[in-house]
Amino acid sequence: MIHIITALVNNKPGVLARIIGLISGRGYNIESLDVAPTPQDHGVSRLIMSVPGDDRILDQVTKHLEKLVDVLEVTHITDKMTEQDKAAAKPEKKGRT
């Protein structure tokens, strides 16, 4: 099962390292990763990565990513979802259950 995780993060040194550390620290491999500053705000970057693995664990990992101080929003899509579902998936705002 391929998981696609996208996030909005602060564009600062160390942020990427922390995110990757969280995932690789659990023994998961990041198969592809793209990160670039958003056109609207150079201080914020959008990150997209694909990680194969177990559903429940990666669901948990996403929750841990949301805890990071420099991570603003996280979405988590699996390839089981239809294109419509993916389009409708909203980023989870932090601070709400």
Residues that bind another protein (CB under 8 A): 10, 13-14, 17-18, 21, 25, 60, 63-64, 66-73, 94-95, 97
User: Which C-beta is closer to another protein: that of 22 or that of 86?
Assistant: 22
At closest approach, how far in Å is the CB of 11 from another protein?
A: 13
What is the distance between the alpha carbons of residues 48 and 71, in angstroms, rounded to a whole number?
A: 13
Q: Are 45 and 31 in contact (CB under 8 A)?
A: no
At closest approach, how far in Å is the CB of 83 from another protein?
A: 28
At closest approach, how far in Å is the CB of 27 from another protein?
A: 14
What is the distance between the alpha carbons of residues 52 and 71, in angstroms, rounded to a whole number?
A: 21
CB atoms within 10 A of CB 65: 20
User: Which C-beta is closer to another protein: that of 15 or that of 51?
Assistant: 15
